[in-house]
Structure 1
Amino acid sequence: MKTKISAYQLFSAIVFVPYGSAVLFFINPEAKQDAWIAILFYLLPAVILQILYTSLWQKYPDDTIVTYIPKIFGRVIGYLLSLIYIIFFAYEAARVLRDFTELIAIAVMPKLPLIITSVALMIPVGYSVFKGIENVYRLTHIFLPLWVFFFIMEWIFLFTTPHALHFHHLKPVLENGIITPIKESWKLITFPYGESILFTMLFSSVIEVSKIRKAAAFAMIFQGILVALNTIMFISVLGTDFASETLFPLLQTLRVMKIGEAFDRVDILIVLIMVVGGFIKISFFMYGAMLGTAQLVKLKDTKYLAIPFSIVVLITSLLIAKNYPQHIFIGQVLTLTYIHLPLAIIIPIAALLLYYIKNLIKKRSRTRMK
């Protein structure tokens, strides 16, 4: 049975999936105290990116990126690119799994082997995608308002914690002009904004077709505001140097927060909430890989791929890096430049241009025949 979702569920998922792991990190430390300004600046390119993705989908409304790419680039190049996108979605699921297993190891259970934590996370992920992605959409639908509520409470408790917030860390504003933070933060268009390429696999499932572009654009704006506020929090509490150097600035920020005398380790509760976000993000990326594979091999039901993909994602998450610093280096330096940039931006732009060029050639040939 084909997946059917509402425009609001799409909005919730587009906000939640990239933000689910972006919230953990100081994602553009090169911009220093102006990092939040760069995040807001890149909202416009992020919205343009959604226009690009939805424009491609509108040309092939019953297809996903895995099935319309071969129609644009031809069978050989197109199917190769489709296979690359499937691998990319599975790889991203593995990266997010590693992010959250490391978070649990550092914050809650440092002596527990990563493989046990990874298996514990992958079992519910595998079960959720086996039962259908609609259930994960419903969870996102419900959990996004709760996440926003917890985000607001974080700010409230930081304001009430003595000497927690130091807004002078945000100064001087634009000390080196606007160009420097923008130039230093170009990777924002690849992460978190570029991760929405995943939803080119899911646009065709939305019932309210006319609302897809609007939902995607507003999701980018809302997500960008949340990430910018999150970055302001890191800088105000930790300062740019410490926020840049620490493995999990969110964790360090929450450890500063106090909620009365009885709750001095509230960070553990927040970690559990973050893990739910990780579960959702892993589920979506793994489902994207499963759906693309099913479409390529003409398999009617994706649930048969849940177990093999769960095993592949689990093993990959353990093998992609020897330790967490190496994992972060690969993700923030190599992956964003050599994987996210071409797959999230360059190839979609090339696909849309090629589509228009081929259509123009067809129209001219028809005119000559007349």
Structure 2
Amino acid sequence: MEKAKISVIQLFALMFIFELGTALVVSYGVTAGKEAWLATLFGLCGGIVLFFIHYYVMRQYPNLPLTGYARKIFGNYIGWTIGLLYVTYFLYIAARNLREFGDLLISSTLPNTPALAVNILMILAVCYVLYLGIEVVARSAEVFIIILILLGVAGNLAVLFSGYVDFHQLQPFLENGWKPVFTTAFPRIIAFPFGEMIVFTMLYPYLNRSEAVKKVWLSAIISSGLILSYTTALNIAVLGVENVERSTFPLLSTIGKVNLFDFIQRLDVIVVFTLLLTVFFKAIIYFYCAVIGMADLFKLNFRHVVFPTGVILLILSMAIASNFVEHSEEGRFIIPYYLHSTFLISLPLLMLLVVLVRSRLMNKTN
């Protein structure tokens, strides 16, 4: 692995930006209807439970990434295979993020630009930053989180003063009961985006103050979860639940309604730039963890893996779906139940179980 250290503030910035990711812009939790914001809060609670699972296992192997302690838990052969599966999973999700960024940019600002051209530029930037190392990524996140917060405050104030916000559109509360809320929160929202935080188990050895990881992780997941819940409620209050369900990028539609004094309008750039920041860092983190996972499993220098893997990521981002509708359907109905449930919930629970059983057996023998 790379010889690097990241600070507590840098880790928080990376986690916060990562959690917002594409979830801030895409249709999120809409299967719960008007209670999508509530489903997000329940998903947040599930994400906190998942954190404590990761935290307990990580503390047993503080100097190893996920691909390393998987081999310690399951043995060299099974653990190595599980590590390789996680690397493949990280690479696939990075490709999905890259695809979503390209589709939003094309639909909002560059309608005549080929998706391949946008994705090539994005992957070149990702590969360049990763080649410089995780410390460069972390320092960049410290700067861009401030820009992200300023953009968020400006965009929210513009929407609130626009006169289009009608919180009565969130009523009646629980019109269809609790079932849609729970079926949306589990496993969809608990997996995306809160369960995706498992990727930071690959970065845990880089933290210069490992004892602070609990506070940092919980602070990042709770703050980002509250923002996602609020944003979902705001979209419904402005557009109505029917329009949110039909919209590909509801936040883009919400801020597109802003027209203050017939002068301040066309603020779509705020959403596009926000997505550029969040998806850029999310793709970088997934890609970097896939690269250092490969370096750990195959005993390679991670810098030698960056550019060849970048080519694979580019091809994968174009091949995973024929269009954005198909891409969204996979993300809504297939991936949460098959990929996310396995890699973000089932396998971490299995690791915890094995660690607990092994610990108890060792205590008995002693």
Q: TM-score, normalised by structure 2?
A: 0.96
Specify the alignment match of 2:97 in structure 1. 96
Q: What is the rounded CA distance, in whole Å, between the counterparts of 1:101 and 1:184 in structure 2?
A: 27
Give a deviation string over 1:167-196, Cα, whole Å, max 9, x none.
111001123444541233211110010110
Q: Could you list the runs of 5+ residues in structure 2 that have no partner in the other structure? A: none
Query: Is 1:228 aligned to residue 220 of structure 2?
Result: no
1:349 alignment counterpart? 349
Does the 8 Å contact 2:95/2:314 carry over to 1? yes
Please tell me whether the aligned partners of residues 155 and 270 of structure 2 are also in contact (alpha carbons under 8 angstroms): no
Mapped partners of 2:42, 2:178: distance in 1: 10
Alignment-derived partner of residue 26 in structure 1: 27
Q: CA deviation at 1:43?
A: 2.2
Equivalent position amino acid for 1:113 in 2: P
Is 2:96–2:317's contact at 8 Å kept on the other side of the alignment?
yes
Residues 148 and 277 of structure 2 are in contact (CA less than 8 Å); yes or no, is this contact kept in structure 1? no
Worse-superposed segment, 326-335 or 133-142: 133-142
Q: Which residue does the alignment assign to 1:196? A: 197
Q: Residues 121-155 of structure 1, C-alpha deviation per residue, up to 9 Å, x if partnerless?
A: 11111100011121121222222232122222222
**Residue identity (%):** 29
Deviation at residue 259 of structure 1 after TM alignment: 4.4
User: Where does residue 304 of structure 2 map in the other structure?
Assistant: 304
Q: Scaled by the length of structure 1, what TM-score is found?
A: 0.95
**Structure 1 vs Structure 2 CA RMSD:** 1.5
Q: What residue is the counterpart of 2:54 in the other structure?
A: 53
2: CA distance, partners of 1:229 / 1:259: 22
Please tell me whether residue 15 in structure 1 is matched to residue 19 in structure 2: no
| Cα gap change, 1:259 to 1:126, in 2 (>3 Å) | farther
Structure 1 match to 2:139? 138
SS at structure 1 position matched to 2:168 = helix
Question: Deviation string for 1:336-363 (max 9, x for gaps)?
Answer: 1111111111111110110121232233
Structure 2 residue identity aligned to 1:27: Y
- In the alignment, the residues of structure 1 paired with residue 140 and residue 255 of structure 2 have an alpha-carbon distance, to the nearest angstrom, of 25
| 1:147 maps onto 2:148 in alignment | yes
Show the counterpart of 1:127. Answer: 128
Given that 1:290 and 1:302 are in contact with CA atoms closer than 8 Å, whether structure 2 keeps it comes out as yes
Partner of 1:117: 118
Paired residues, what number?
Answer: 364
Superposed displacement of residue 76, structure 1: 2.0
Alignment of 1:218-367 (within 5 A): 218-299=219-300, 301-364=301-364, 366-367=365-366
CA contact (8 A) 2:98 2:279 kept: yes
Match of 1:169 in 2: 169
Of stretches 206-215 and 149-158 in structure 1, the one that deviates more from structure 2 is 149-158
Show structure 1 runs of 5+ residues with no match. none
List structure 1 segments (4+ residues) > 3 angstroms apart after TM superposition.
176-180, 259-263
Q: Distance in 2 between the 1:297 and 1:44 partners?
A: 36
| Whole-angstrom CA distance in 1 between matches of 2:358 and 2:161 | 61
CA distance change for structure 1 residues 269 and 35 in 2, over 3 Å: closer, same or farther?
Answer: closer
